[in-house]
């Protein structure tokens, strides 16, 4: 089956995708809530900005990330000065690229699920003595969970498949930024790499499938009719 | 004085206005559909902001536009029974009933869980999910949920609508019970004259 090196690629991909999604989930949720429930100036612009990575060529997104996180870039300079770290050519950089690309899909799915929660139920909770925060935690959040789950799975799958922005931003470094898609690309460039391509591609398909089935099972377990699939 | 309410709100091109001064018992806001009766209840509950006016219940000011007072809905202690019940679909009947009870200060609770279950005859529904309840059952649970949140007054929005004759009578008797035995002031909205006649201590016409 897979060689040790290939298993390491799978583990790296899961790490990058998992960290990306976990780190960006609170932000995705906050943005989704803002867009679903608040009216404020610049809302349309914010919506457009979030969705930009979905439509801009991933190479461009990767290049913009490179500009921002380069040692003399606005974010890169801050990271260097305050934490003494750089994300270039590191798996953390790959996770950032994956997070940026996963964000729009997550915000979309979570936003839909929050919009699906009847505000009149929140009103009812308020008259029963619940503060805004408590009504959110006890009514909106539990009713939106299936959508949050769906968005997270979607984001994770997108993160696993991320290629263009990652290779532009943090290049193709074995053991650091060579995730599944980039490893497949590298194997395709290598004479006699077809067998490795087949194995890695099969793993990619299997991972995506497992993610979808697991989330569906979770949604079922919630005992509600809202399913991911 | 149980209710001292004077409210005005402009919505699109029409004006919703209500003036109510009433003592104990059931005060019925009576008027045709679409005149803004539910909006008045929403404003009393704090879910909708009036343009001007005041809301005082038992001498406590909940809203006053001249002093810019507006108590948030969770501290108004209004037992609001919505026309569409609005039970939480992700909680069983018992958890719905207990939602407001948990949030009320123990010293302010004046009725316990078992008393409410007996009063409304909903003991057999406790393990059910709201989606499986009939309209009459859902409304009884909604009344129970409101009572357990330790309200100082009740707001009932068309409590007898969309029910068959037997259920209507059942709920009407429950309201009479709450009025006569629990002595809770009730502000109720209806467009049905017979309903108003039967339950009202006082009728306030809108429109």
pLDDT, tens digit (0-9, with 9 covering 90-100), for A67-81: 999 999 999 999 999
Q: What is the domain extent for residue B151?
A: 3-205
User: In terms of CATH architecture, what is A4-58+92-221?
Assistant: Orthogonal Bundle (1.10)
> Is the Cβ pair A129, B104 closer than 8 Å?
yes
C-beta atoms of B99 and A138 within 8 A: yes
A120–B82: do the CB atoms touch at under 8 Å?
yes
Residue of A nearest to B142 (CA): A124
Q: What is the CATH number of the domain that holds B56?
A: 3.40.50.300
CB contacts under 8 A, B 96-155 vs A, are: 99-100, 103-104, 145-146, 149-150
C-beta atoms of B103 and A128 within 8 A: yes
Digit-coded pLDDT (tens) for B105-118: 999 999 999 999 99
Residue spans of the domains in chain A: they are 4-58+92-221
Q: Which of residues 100-119 of A touch B (CB under 8 A)?
A: 118
The answer to whether the beta carbons of residues A216 and A228 sit under 8 Å apart is yes
| Residue carrying the six token digits 């029963």 | A128
State residue A219's pLDDT score.
61
What average pLDDT score do residues A12-29 get? 96
Q: What mean pLDDT is reported for chain A?
A: 90
**Nearest to A128, CA basis, from B47, B123, B205:** B47
Given a cut of 50, whether residue A96 has pLDDT beyond it is: yes
What does the pLDDT look like over B156-207, one tens digit per residue?
999 998 888 888 898 899 899 899 988 899 999 999 899 999 999 999 998 7
pLDDT band at residue B46 using 50, 70 and 90 as cut-offs: very high
Contact B204, B22 (CB under 8 A): yes
Q: Is the minimum CB–CB distance between A133 and chain B shorter than 8 Å?
A: no
Q: Which two tokens stand for residue A77?
A: 């300079």
SS3 B190: strand
Determine whether the interchain pair B149/A128 forms a contact, defined as Cβ–Cβ distance below 8 Å: yes
Nearest to A143 among B75, B84, B90 (CB): B90
Element (H, E) at A83: none
Arithmetic mean of pLDDT over chain B: 93
Residues of chain B contacting A129 with CB distance shorter than 8 Å: 74-75, 77, 100, 103-104, 149-150
In chain B, residues with a C-beta closer than 8 Å to the C-beta of A120 are 82, 84, 86
What is the distance between the alpha carbons of residues A98 and A220, in angstroms, rounded to a whole number?
A: 28
Q: Which residues of B touch A130 (CB under 8 A)?
A: 74, 99, 103
Chain B CB contacts of A224 under 8 Å are 89-90
Q: What is the pLDDT of residue A225?
A: 41
Segment B53-67 mean pLDDT: 95
Check: complex ipTM more than 0.95: no
In the structure encoding, which two tokens stand for residue B48, read together?
A: 């909708």
Helix (DSSP H) and strand (DSSP E) numbers for chain A: 11, 0
Contact A142 B90 (CB under 8 A): yes
* Number of domains forming the structure of chain B: 1
Contact yes or no for B74 and A129 at CB 8 A:
yes
Cβ-Cβ pairs closer than 8 A, A with B, add up to: 60
pLDDT value at position B201? 93
Contact map slice: B 53-92 vs A, CB within 8 A:
72-80, 82, 84, 86, 88-90
Q: Which residues of A touch B90 (CB under 8 A)?
A: 142-143, 224
Structural tokens at position A15: 């790490």
Lowest mean pLDDT among A117-121, A130-134, A213-217, B8-12: A213-217
Evaluate if residue A226 carries a pLDDT over 80: no
Would you say residue B8 has pLDDT above 80?
yes
Which of B46, B73, B154 should one mutate to test binding to chain A, selecting the residue with the greatest count of A CBs within 10 A?
B73
**Are residues B9 and B16 in contact, defined by beta-carbon separation less than 8 angstroms?**
yes
Alpha-helical (H) ranges within B122-199 are 135-148, 165-177, 193-199
Backbone angles phi, psi at A87, to 5 degrees: -95, -5
Provide the shortest C-alpha distance from residue A172 to chain B (in Å).
47
Report the DSSP pairing between strands B153-157 and B186-190: parallel
Considering only alpha carbons, which residue of chain B is nearest residue A118? B86
């Amino acid at each position: 089956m897979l060689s040790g090196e290939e298993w390491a690629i799978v583990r790296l991909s899961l790490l990058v995708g998992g960290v990306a999604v976990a780190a960006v989930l609170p932000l995705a949720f906050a943005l989704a809530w803002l867009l679903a429930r608040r009216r404020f100036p610049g809302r349309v612009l914010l919506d457009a900005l979030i969705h930009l990575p979905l439509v801009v060529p991933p190479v461009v997104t990767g290049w913009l990330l490179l500009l921002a996180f380069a040692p003399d870039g606005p974010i890169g300079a801050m990271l260097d000065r305050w934490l003494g770290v750089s994300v270039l050519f590191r798996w953390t950089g790959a996770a950032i690229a994956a997070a940026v690309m996963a964000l729009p899909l997550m915000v979309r799915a979570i936003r839909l699920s929050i919009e699906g929660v009847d505000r009149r139920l929140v009103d009812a909770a308020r008259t029963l003595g619940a503060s805004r925060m408590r009504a959110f935690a006890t009514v909106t959040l539990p009713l939106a969970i299936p959508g949050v789950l769906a968005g997270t799975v979607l984001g994770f799958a997108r993160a696993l498949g991320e290629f263009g922005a990652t290779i532009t931003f943090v290049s193709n470094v074995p053991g650091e930024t060579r995730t599944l898609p980039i490893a497949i690309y590298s194997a395709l460039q290598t004479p006699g790499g077809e067998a490795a391509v087949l194995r890695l591609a099969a793993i990619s398909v299997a991972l995506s499938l497992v993610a979808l089935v697991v989330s569906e099972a979770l949604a079922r377990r919630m005992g509600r009719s809202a399913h991911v699939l | 004085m149980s209710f001292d309410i004077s409210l005005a709100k402009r919505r699109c091109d029409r004006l919703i206005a209500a003036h109510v001064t009433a003592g104990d018992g059931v005060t019925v806001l009576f008027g045709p559909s679409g005149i803004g009766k539910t909006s008045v209840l929403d404003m009393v509950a704090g879910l909708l902001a009036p343009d001007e006016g005041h809301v005082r219940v038992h001498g406590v000011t909940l809203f006053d536009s001249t002093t810019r007072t507006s108590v948030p809905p969770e501290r108004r202690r209004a037992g609001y029974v919505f026309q569409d019940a609005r039970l939480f679909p992700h909680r069983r009947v018992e958890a719905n009933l207990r939602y407001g009870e948990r949030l009320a200060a123990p010293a302010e609770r004046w009725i316990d869980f078992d008393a409410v279950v007996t009063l409304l005859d909903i003991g057999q529904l406790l393990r059910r999910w709201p989606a499986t309840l009939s309209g009459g059952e859902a409304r009884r649970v909604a009344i129970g949920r409101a009572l357990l949140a330790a309200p100082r007054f009740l707001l009932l929005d068309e409590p007898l609508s969309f029910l068959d004759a037997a259920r209507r009578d059942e709920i009407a008797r429950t309201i009479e019970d709450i009025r006569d035995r629990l002595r809770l002031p009730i502000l109720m909205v209806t467009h049905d004259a017979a309903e108003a006649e039967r339950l009202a201590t006082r009728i306030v016409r809108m429109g």
